[in-house]
Structure 1
Amino acid sequence: MPTPTPDAAPRRRDKTHYLYLAVIVAVLLGILVGFLFPGFAKGLKPLGDGFVNLIKMMISPIIFCTIVIGVGSVAKAAKVGIMALVYFIVMSTFALAIGLVVGNILHPGTGLHLNPADVKSVQKSATGSEGPVDFLLHIIPKTFVSAFTEGQVLQTLLVALLVGFALQKLGPKGAPILRGVEHLQRLVFRVLAMIMWAAPIGAFGAIAAVVGATGWAALKSLAVIMIGFYVTCLVFVFVVLGLVLWLGARVNIWHLLRYLGREFLLILSTSSSESALPRLIAKMEHLGVGKSVVGITVPTGYSFNLDGTAIYLTMATLFIAAAQDEPLSIGAQIGLLVFMIIASKGAAGVSGSGIATLASGLQSHRPELVNGVGFILGIDRFMSEARALTNFAGNAVATVLIGNWTKEFDREQADRVFAGHAPFDEATLLDEERSAPDEDGPAKP
């Protein structure tokens, strides 16, 4: 019996439509409560933290299942990984350059003559930062399962790659194991779908807390750098990434971002791109990108493709230096920020990781400036949102590009998805028709 086409298949009512409407309402209520009852609103922060922790709880098993299925099914994982890393380095360099240009044009912080002695407590958070060697050694987990129990993304990535390659070597004997991982993936995504119904509560608590703690004062005093940062991120996404996506895959950036609209809303409400990582994996597969490409490119990009973080570190560093009347030369800017990009690997999806990376970089290269990190804390939460959104957009674009370059991109499926003829299954977060397990082998591509 032929499989019905997406056009002919009856559409199930998407109940999650109401969920994301509730998220929007929760965000607006959170802003209102933050302004009217700031003291009460600050106490709501655990609601947002709790929701993000629930999402982070699912990251390791989702990455493990996705990578094992992708790598275990095909033999081109090494090619995909190398291609992705080269692309990440090139795009991070572009982001770094754009941030430097805009920062040197705007000169954020000039004329403030701030006294860093007022915020010495920030320096404590910068101590104990890892160097490049420690970072590489940290990728290796203490035990086979500690990567899952400690929630380390790069460690989980390493274990999953080893298991995936081992299944390749097993050949037909590894097919039953691969089918078992596919069933485990279904279970994991079903749990994630259940957790997503707590999104309105998490969004309300997170937004209310930051508005209650910050108010309008910090926004006014630091308006130049915040607005400049947002504009720079928009230019990077719609001009640089848009042009690269069109030239590299003939895909319209507007269509891709509209398709990922709910994920952007989730990131906006939680200020963490990690909260949308599982959904990005599922949606990229549904869009028509091969499992192996998605399984390698998305998790790796969350640690190495930090376009928004690169722009943030650039402008924040220039602001702190100028605000303390110690402007940096172009050579010093490049050297310091390249170190920061290296130091930030593995922390892209963690809310607040940008401020920690900024402090650790300054502590290592210009310790006399590290106290100035405290001046940017007032709006870091708002800048963190743009940072996470830009990182997420960059990883979505990278996945489509790598899929197209490796001929693992179903353009007809993408056209159906963009046209609304093949809606994403919000109930299971899995594309059952395109990836259902076969009785005699692994999932069908």
Structure 2
Amino acid sequence: MNITTPNPSPKTKKSLSHSVLTNLTFWVLIAIIAGILLGHFSPENGVKMEFLGKKFIQLISLFIGPIIFLTIVLGISGMGNLKKVGRIGVKALAYFEVVSTVALAIGVAVAYIFKPGKIDKSGLTFGDASQYTKGASEHFSWLQFFLSNFTLQVLLAAIVCGIALNFYQKREQTILVLERFSKVVFTALKYVMYLAPIGAFGGMAYTIGKFGLATLIPLGKLMLCVYLTMALFVFLVLGSILRYYKISIFSILKYIKEELLLVLGTSSSEAALPSIMVKLERMGCSKSVVGLVIPTGYSFNLDGTSIYLSMSVLFIAQLYDVHLSFFEILTVIGILMITSKGAAGVTGSGFIVLASTLTALHKIPVEGLAFLLGVDKFMSEARAITNLIGNTVATIIISKTERDFTELNLNPVLEE
């Protein structure tokens, strides 16, 4: 018996077409492709589009402070249990340190095995890395890290205010006002996110127009190693952690695809911070866990950055034929466990952290950083995406271990 599938009715076709055209993911993807084409075929005009990407990130950044502050204050005051706040914080920091150390070790292992720095160096021109390494010889300062990290400052202020609010007599009225203001902020953010395709277009057009595609050929091995290592970390390490809790990494990636595309276009994981917090709450994570883990993770749980930093140190060593002993490799991991925590919130901070690490070793030429200038921009997308996925998984895991996860929300949301 032949079974025929009925053709979609004109109404259904129109509905599907409308769904695609109103999907933000679709437009962000189109914008990224358009940016690549403009940057490749008209580099001068592509470079001029840089302001679009920068302005969009600046616009999104305006929401980061208020959202972090409101989410944390409401989360802590809503708990009514300060012991739980401290427990979540300690648990999150312990998780961050373990997972980011695993990321560092994987980066070192892949770089040691595949030796991306052992390449033909003829015809390569080293750029001027002085603008990035200025001040890198200074010792890492936690005070400087705190003063230059706006997210961390807001996080600390919000924690203090959230705790204080628990002892305030008019606590309920204050919470009601903050909740109303929070709704206004998130509604405004919803409309700002419609500009995401413009930001993604500007960021991608500038990247391709500035550096071009041909310049990537000599450093293709390094880029391939970095991307493969980050994919290995996401699917093997983070995937295994999620699998323990019976959640598929592929379902999570599908759920946050809009944020991943936005990060891909803008090269900034901060651009997706507000919307990822909303999605994690919708998935079932409690507001208090999301409010504490995500902002903290943006400073202390940079898995993609950790992989990039560890691979870059070994890459430069291989570039200059500097042999590192097993003890020296362990020293690299140990130093990066501390300095990598300062690789957020500061322009060019990745190069400063690398230079600080190389200076501490007294063996690898700091000048080798110039070799990374041409491809650093292209690897920044992978770093930012891995950082975003890492913090998403961390929030789910902490929420699960706290038994503060609404299971009923999980499957319906992931199946959409």
Normalised to the residue count of structure 1, the TM-score between the two structures is 0.83
Match of 1:79 among 62, 81, 87: 87
1:91 maps onto 2:99 in alignment: yes
Match of 2:261 among 265, 269, 281: 265
Q: How does 1:383-394 map to 2 (within 5 A)?
A: 383-394=379-390
**Bigger CA drift: 333-342 or 297-306?**
333-342
Structure 2 residue aligned with 1:441: none
Helix, strand or coil at the partner of 1:250:
coil
Structure 2 residue aligned with 1:128: 135
Structure 1 residue aligned with 2:301: 305
1:224 maps onto 2:221 in alignment: yes
**Bigger CA drift: 406-415 or 193-202?**
193-202
Unaligned runs of 5+ in 2: 1-17
Unaligned runs of 5+ in 1: 1-12, 142-149, 421-445
Q: Distance in 2 between the 1:413 and 1:351 partners?
A: 38
Q: Distance in 2 between the 1:177 and 1:272 partners?
A: 34
Task: Report the alpha carbon displacement of residue 255 of structure 1 after superposing the two structures with TM.
Answer: 1.2
Q: Distance in 2 between the 1:351 and 1:282 partners?
A: 27
Pair 1:401–1:16, CA change in 2 (3 A): farther
Q: Distance in 1 between the 2:123 and 2:370 partners?
A: 11
Helix, strand or coil at the partner of 1:226:
helix
| Percent of matched pairs sharing the same residue | 41
Q: Distance in 1 between the 2:334 and 2:40 partners?
A: 39
In the alignment, residue 198 of structure 1 is paired with which amino acid?
L
In the alignment, residue 73 of structure 2 is paired with which amino acid?
V
Q: How does 1:196-207 map to 2 (within 5 A)?
A: 196-207=193-204
Task: Report the alpha carbon displacement of residue 118 of structure 1 after superposing the two structures with TM.
Answer: 4.3
Q: Distance in 1 between the 2:130 and 2:225 partners?
A: 26
Q: Distance in 1 between the 2:271 and 2:346 partners?
A: 9
Contact 1:30-1:205 within 8 A present in 2 as well: yes
Task: Report the alpha carbon displacement of residue 18 of structure 1 after superposing the two structures with TM.
Answer: 3.6
Instruction: State the 4+ residue runs in structure 1 displaced beyond 6 angstroms.
Output: 13-16, 114-117
Q: Deviations over 1:387-441 (max 9, x none)?
A: 1111111111111110010010111111221122xxxxxxxxxxxxxxxxxxxxx
Q: How does 1:168-317 map to 2 (within 5 A)?
A: 168-170=166-168, 173-247=170-244, 249-317=245-313
Q: Distance in 2 between the 1:387 and 1:17 partners?
A: 29
Task: Report the alpha carbon displacement of residue 187 of structure 1 after superposing the two structures with TM.
Answer: 1.7
Q: Deviations over 1:81-100 (max 9, x none)?
A: 00111111110111111111
Q: Distance in 2 between the 1:284 and 1:113 partners?
A: 45
Q: Distance in 2 between the 1:93 and 1:138 partners?
A: 20
Pair 1:351–1:390, CA change in 2 (3 A): farther
**Bigger CA drift: 320-329 or 264-273?**
320-329
Q: Distance in 1 between the 2:144 and 2:56 partners?
A: 30
Q: Distance in 1 between the 2:149 and 2:191 partners?
A: 20
1:23 maps onto 2:21 in alignment: no
Pair 1:191–1:114, CA change in 2 (3 A): farther
In the alignment, residue 160 of structure 1 is paired with which amino acid?
A
Pair 1:86–1:213, CA change in 2 (3 A): same
Pair 1:26–1:117, CA change in 2 (3 A): closer
Contact 2:116-2:315 within 8 A present in 1 as well: yes
The root-mean-square deviation of aligned C-alpha atoms, in Å, is: 2.4
1:105 maps onto 2:113 in alignment: yes
Q: Distance in 1 between the 2:21 and 2:241 partners?
A: 32
Q: Distance in 1 between the 2:86 and 2:142 partners?
A: 22
Q: Distance in 2 between the 1:112 and 1:327 partners?
A: 18
Helix, strand or coil at the partner of 1:71:
helix
Count of residues in correspondence between the two structures: 395
Helix, strand or coil at the partner of 1:221:
coil
Helix, strand or coil at the partner of 2:365:
helix
Task: Report the alpha carbon displacement of residue 279 of structure 1 after superposing the two structures with TM.
Answer: 0.9
Normalised to the residue count of structure 2, the TM-score between the two structures is 0.88
**Bigger CA drift: 60-69 or 18-27?**
18-27
Q: Distance in 2 between the 1:137 and 1:47 partners?
A: 30
Task: Report the alpha carbon displacement of residue 36 of structure 1 after superposing the two structures with TM.
Answer: 0.8
Q: Distance in 1 between the 2:41 and 2:144 partners?
A: 48
Pair 1:49–1:84, CA change in 2 (3 A): same
Structure 2 residue aligned with 1:344: 340
In the alignment, residue 37 of structure 2 is paired with which amino acid?
L
In the alignment, residue 292 of structure 1 is paired with which amino acid?
S
Helix, strand or coil at the partner of 2:251:
helix
Contact 1:123-1:370 within 8 A present in 2 as well: no
Helix, strand or coil at the partner of 1:109:
coil
Q: Deviations over 1:161-218 (max 9, x none)?
A: 0001111223x62111112111121122122222212222211111111111222232
Task: Report the alpha carbon displacement of residue 17 of structure 1 after superposing the two structures with TM.
Answer: 3.6
Contact 2:24-2:258 within 8 A present in 1 as well: no
Q: How does 1:400-415 map to 2 (within 5 A)?
A: 400-415=396-411
Pair 1:128–1:114, CA change in 2 (3 A): farther
Q: Distance in 2 between the 1:186 and 1:347 partners?
A: 32
Q: Distance in 2 between the 1:300 and 1:176 partners?
A: 28
Structure 2 residue aligned with 1:160: 158
Task: Report the alpha carbon displacement of residue 357 of structure 1 after superposing the two structures with TM.
Answer: 2.6
Q: Distance in 2 between the 1:324 and 1:115 partners?
A: 16
Q: Distance in 2 between the 1:168 and 1:277 partners?
A: 27
Task: Report the alpha carbon displacement of residue 364 of structure 1 after superposing the two structures with TM.
Answer: 4.2
Q: Distance in 2 between the 1:158 and 1:68 partners?
A: 10
Contact 1:69-1:178 within 8 A present in 2 as well: yes
Task: Report the alpha carbon displacement of residue 137 of structure 1 after superposing the two structures with TM.
Answer: 6.3
